[in-house]
Amino acid sequence: MSTLLQSPIEFLKGVGPLRGEILRKELHAHTFGDLLAHYPFRYIDRSVIHKVKEVNPLTQFIQLKGKINGFKILGEGKQKRLLASFRDDTGEIELIWFKSIDFILKTLKPNVEVLVFGKPTVFNGLFNIAHPEVEIFTDEIKASGKGLQPVYSSTDRMKKKNLESRGLARLMHTLIGQTKEKDVPEFLPKEILQHFKLISRYQAILNIHFPKNESVLHEATRRLKFEELFLIQLQMLKVKSNRSEISKGFVFEKIDNQFDKFYHHQLKFELTGAQKRVLKEIRKDTLTGRQMNRLLQGDVGSGKTVVALLTMLMAIDNGFQACLMAPTEILANQHYESIVEALRGMNLEVALLTGNVKGKARKFILENLAEGKIDILIGTHALIEDSVVFKNIGMVVIDEQHRFGVAQRAALWTKNEKPPHILVMTATPIPRTLAMTIYGDLDVSVIDELPPGRKPIRTVHRTDADRLRVFGFMKEEIHKGRQIYIVYPLIEESETLDLKHLMDGYESISRAFPKPEFQISIVHGRMRGADKDYEMQRFVRGETQIMIATTVIEVGVNVPNASVMIIENAERFGLSQLHQLRGRVGRGAEQSFCILITGKKLSNESKQRVSVMCKTNDGFVIAEEDLKLRGPGDLEGTQQSGVINLHIADLVNDVKILEAARTTAQNLIESDPTLSMPEHQHLLSYMNEISKEKIWSKIS
Ligand code: ADP
Ligand code: MG
């Protein structure tokens, strides 16, 4: 980077020590370069000035030119507000402020020509604009006239020091004025620039801040988005390619013993085509002599567990140990039980290690593990701990809920001299763009087929008022011999309140479904592990017909006889969580149902979530909808992965750019894995430079 852009922020004209401190704290802008990377989030089109009479109920943000006639202060304390009547030659509209009143009165004078920008709303039948941006219509603006004016995000602390959007724009103007082409050198190879018709980095930076028109802005944005996504992909693929260079993997030559036995004698069903295909992919990986790093995606109930088990048997047939890591205690237990059951009579040692296994039992397991007497270890995150030492681990399966980053996965590699093969299974599907970004360093397998004979789950929406009808339906199902889940939301911040909801629900259900005719289990996060297990087991064995639970049952629980899933306060769950919960039913031969219960009034987003759930059972479709509704930052678990904090690109709308960036990065890494060709020199040094800062430290 040029020395100019490395200059400390306080040296920029108009900044100084005080504002410098604020820019560092609020924007993490330590240098000129950091400030330059604070892109506008919106632009005001200065070329279009509307008239007051054009304002109508559908008007979005609008720019008007006119004069303020006078001010009026109404109310006191919290009610205090400032009103201004604003006129142009076609009419009058009210401007209103609830905050910064003194500041407004100081800076705005009546009868001066101003530009007003904001979003009109209707109040008492009249239009007003709350907290508009008002700017004196100076000669300067008159002269610059056209072009798009940047709008920067800013915080209260910044605003107090005149670093509101306009103040920032002034600084940016100064900075851009000093920045020369050599300060923003190009690092993308010429060929790529030409192929995608991308403008230079320098041009892009100038135009992202002060674009003359929409089309210039579009080109600047396109270039910067491409750059951002390309660098992430390149970094991911570099990690991947380095790994396959360095990490020699174990070769699993044989699958003739336990694998065969299990496949031919123990397995109670025919694998689906998709399961077979995925197993072939894994088999191929484990023959290459390189370490496998594969992501297995499949919808709830698509049968990932049996694939995991067969994969572990491949390792065992070649003299290795294997382990399976689950996101929760309950799920680890259930995996343990179902795997012990599946392997019954096969003379294999399977052990369970969770945080609850302590003292002698723990010591016993750890010793046997180190001596190689345990073939398959199943557990929670406790497996990553240093004290867990294998004699010879060859395969690690991660059934995950929380999405790990590359670094966390790497912790597992040190468990043997050569890193074990790694299979990551996602609990629910994730959208392709997100997968490419978070799991860009992995190969991907997909199970896109459900086991045969499954009846699609019928999902309906009911409100509190329909409760009696729902109870009636529950009774019918129970009389047919079915079992029912009722799930309550659990949100960390108000755990006590949630518990109360759950207990209230339990009471009302107990009244409507009295003993001894009906038996009810209850499971929630505040219970001791042993109690949870006991209640769970009663339901699994069919001794109870209703399971009342918080989301602790979300992942993995398998009770094929349960055919009704009732979700209370469904509006409080995210889409993928709803889908995951629904996946607890529909596992047996009977028709299954999912009933989403909500209050009467729903936000638009909740309505949309409920309607998506009622429309489709396809986890991949739901994942895409979830991404659209919430954006990647809010999807479960993505925060941990770090790479999602995109600066300018957007995983919902920039799919095409992402794909182009991915392919380009792939081609580049294939032709020059170490980026050592002369034409890639700038790229390599830029990557090294940014890897010292920011996000890369988290993923490499
Ligand atoms: P998930 O992918 O959600 O982890 P599971 O592995 O728990 O799904 O499988 C769900 C259920 O489907 C289990 O009861 C499992 O035994 C059963 N199953 C898996 N594969 C098949 C198959 N090919 N045919 C029939 N049933 C299967
Ligand atoms: Mg599972």
Domain span at residue 325 reads 257-285+303-426
What is the average per-residue pLDDT within 249-262? 93
pLDDT at 629: 83
**Whether pLDDT at 695 is above 50:** no
- 603 C-alpha to center of ligand 1: Å? 36
Q: What is the pLDDT of residues 261-291, one digit of tens each?
A: 999 999 999 999 999 999 999 999 999 998 9
Assess if residue 189 is contained within a domain.
no
Q: What is the dihedral of CA 239, 244, 250, 256, to 10 degrees?
A: 110
pLDDT at 697: 36
**Whether pLDDT at 239 is above 80:** yes
Q: Which of 241-255, 352-366, 377-391, 662-676 has the lowest mean pLDDT?
A: 241-255
- For residues 505 and 609, membership in a common domain is answered with yes
Residues with C-beta less than 6 Å from any ligand 1 atom: 269, 271-272, 275, 298, 300-306, 451, 558, 587
- 358 C-alpha to center of ligand 2: Å? 26
- Split at pLDDT 50, 70, 90, the class of 333 is confident
- 302 C-alpha to center of ligand 1: Å? 6
**Whether pLDDT at 406 is above 80:** no
- For residues 399 and 548, membership in a common domain is answered with no
Name the residue with the closest Cα to ligand 1, atom 26.
451
- For residues 500 and 603, membership in a common domain is answered with yes
Q: Which of 220-229, 383-392, 624-633, 651-660 has the lowest mean pLDDT?
A: 624-633
Ligand 1 pocket check: which of 302, 309, 540 to mutate, most ligand atoms within 8 Å of Cβ? 302
pLDDT at 550: 85
What is the average per-residue pLDDT within 128-156? 80
- For residues 595 and 466, membership in a common domain is answered with yes
Would you say 523 and 559 are in contact if contact means Cβ atoms under 8 Å apart?
no
pLDDT at 26: 94
3-class secondary-structure state, position 595: strand
Residues of the chain with pLDDT > 70: what percent? 92
Give me Rg for the CA atoms of the chain.
Answer: 30
Assess if residue 573 is contained within a domain.
yes
Name the residue with the closest Cα to ligand 1, atom 1.
301
446/430 Cα distance (integer angstroms): 11
178/552 Cα distance (integer angstroms): 57
597's tokens = 């219960």
228's tokens = 């951002």
**Whether pLDDT at 554 is above 80:** no
| Peptide linkage before 516 cis (omega within 30 of 0) | yes
Q: What is the pLDDT of residues 40-78, one digit of tens each?
A: 998 887 678 899 999 988 887 888 999 999 999 998 888
User: Which residues have C-beta under 5 Å from ligand 2, the single-atom ion?
Assistant: 556
| Angle at the Cα of 481 from the Cα atoms of 478 and 483, rounded to 5 degrees | 60
What is the average per-residue pLDDT within 504-525? 92
Ligand 1 pocket check: which of 305, 445, 553 to mutate, most ligand atoms within 8 Å of Cβ? 305
Sort residue 200 into left (φ over 0), alpha (ψ -120 to 50) or beta.
Answer: beta
The closest of 203, 210, 423, 211 to 305, measured between CA atoms, is 423
Q: Which atom of ligand 1 is nearest to the CA of 338?
A: 16
3-class secondary-structure state, position 657: helix
**Whether pLDDT at 198 is above 60:** yes
> Could you tell me which residue, 370 or 641, shows the higher pLDDT?
370
The closest of 683, 656, 688, 676 to 191, measured between CA atoms, is 683
174/595 Cα distance (integer angstroms): 59
- Split at pLDDT 50, 70, 90, the class of 2 is low
Helix (H) or strand (E) holding 293: strand 293-298
Name the residue with the closest Cα to ligand 1, atom 20.
303
What is the average per-residue pLDDT within 248-273? 94
Residue 68: which CATH number?
A: 2.40.50.140
Ligand 1 pocket check: which of 270, 275, 278, 306 to mutate, most ligand atoms within 8 Å of Cβ? 306
**For the purposes of burial, counting CB atoms within 10 Å of the CB of 506, is it exposed (0-12), middle (13-18) or buried (19 or more)?**
middle
Q: Which residues contact 427 (CB under 8 A, 6 or more apart)?
A: 300, 327, 399, 400, 401, 555, 556, 580
**Whether pLDDT at 33 is above 70:** yes
Assess if residue 199 is contained within a domain.
no
Assess if residue 629 is contained within a domain.
no
- For residues 38 and 68, membership in a common domain is answered with no
**Residue spans of alpha helices (H) in 570-693:** 575-582, 604-615, 619-630, 638-641, 655-671, 681-692
**Whether pLDDT at 96 is above 90:** yes
Per-chain mean pLDDT for the chain: 88
- Split at pLDDT 50, 70, 90, the class of 698 is very low
Q: Which atom of ligand 1 is nearest to the CA of 305?
A: 6
Would you say 202 and 184 are in contact if contact means Cβ atoms under 8 Å apart?
yes
Residue that finishes a domain, picked among 565, 593, 616? 616
3-state secondary structure labels for all residues of 144-208: HCCCEEEECCCCHHHHHCCCCHHHHHHHHHHHHHHCCHHHCCCCCCHHHHHHCCCCCHHHHHHHH
Ligand nearest to the CA of 400: 2
480's tokens = 């047919």
Q: Which atom of ligand 1 is nearest to the CA of 560?
A: 14
Ligand 1 pocket check: which of 268, 269, 424 to mutate, most ligand atoms within 8 Å of Cβ? 269
- 298 C-alpha to center of ligand 1: Å? 11
Ligand nearest to the CA of 297: 1
Name the residue with the closest Cα to ligand 1, atom 25.
451
Assess if residue 608 is contained within a domain.
yes
- For residues 4 and 124, membership in a common domain is answered with no
Q: Which atom of ligand 1 is nearest to the CA of 587?
A: 11
- For residues 99 and 174, membership in a common domain is answered with no
- For residues 383 and 395, membership in a common domain is answered with yes
Assess if residue 221 is contained within a domain.
no
- 424 C-alpha to center of ligand 2: Å? 12
Of the CA atoms within 13 Å of residue 173, those in its CB half-sphere come to 10
pLDDT at 494: 65
Q: What is the dihedral of CA 19, 23, 26, 30, to 10 degrees?
A: -140
Q: pTM to 2 decimals?
A: 0.74
pLDDT at 253: 94
Assess if residue 519 is contained within a domain.
yes
Q: Which residues contact 397 (CB under 8 A, 6 or more apart)?
A: 308, 311, 312, 322, 323, 324, 325, 422, 423, 424, 425
What is the average per-residue pLDDT within 493-510? 81
- Split at pLDDT 50, 70, 90, the class of 641 is very low
The closest of 247, 231, 298, 234 to 271, measured between CA atoms, is 298
- For residues 55 and 156, membership in a common domain is answered with no
166/678 Cα distance (integer angstroms): 43
- 283 C-alpha to center of ligand 1: Å? 20
Residue 345: which CATH number?
A: 3.40.50.300
664's tokens = 């380009």
pLDDT at 436: 83
Name the residue with the closest Cα to ligand 1, atom 5.
303
Specify the number of domains making up the chain: 4
Q: Which atom of ligand 1 is nearest to the CA of 272?
A: 23
**Whether pLDDT at 378 is above 80:** yes
- For residues 364 and 277, membership in a common domain is answered with yes
3-class secondary-structure state, position 672: coil
What is the average per-residue pLDDT within 655-663? 93
605/518 Cα distance (integer angstroms): 37
Ligand nearest to the CA of 579: 1
- Split at pLDDT 50, 70, 90, the class of 169 is very high
Residue found under tokens 């429309």? 615
- For residues 474 and 543, membership in a common domain is answered with yes
Q: 446-473: b or e for each residue (b if 16 or more CB lie within 10 Å)?
A: bbbebbeeeeebebebbeeeeeeebeeb
What is the average per-residue pLDDT within 307-333? 93
Q: Which residues contact 485 (CB under 8 A, 6 or more apart)?
A: 546, 547, 549, 553, 562, 564, 565, 566, 581, 584, 585
Assess if residue 627 is contained within a domain.
no
**Whether pLDDT at 374 is above 50:** yes
Q: Which of 60-74, 174-188, 364-378, 393-407 has the lowest mean pLDDT?
A: 393-407
Would you say 94 and 85 are in contact if contact means Cβ atoms under 8 Å apart?
yes
- 221 C-alpha to center of ligand 2: Å? 41
- 296 C-alpha to center of ligand 2: Å? 11
What is the average per-residue pLDDT within 332-341? 91
- Split at pLDDT 50, 70, 90, the class of 143 is low
Q: What is the pLDDT of residues 442-480, one digit of tens each?
A: 889 999 998 988 889 999 999 989 999 999 999 999 999
Residue 685 — φ and ψ, nearest 5°? Answer: -70, -30
- 277 C-alpha to center of ligand 2: Å? 18
DSSP state of 14: T
- For residues 19 and 109, membership in a common domain is answered with no
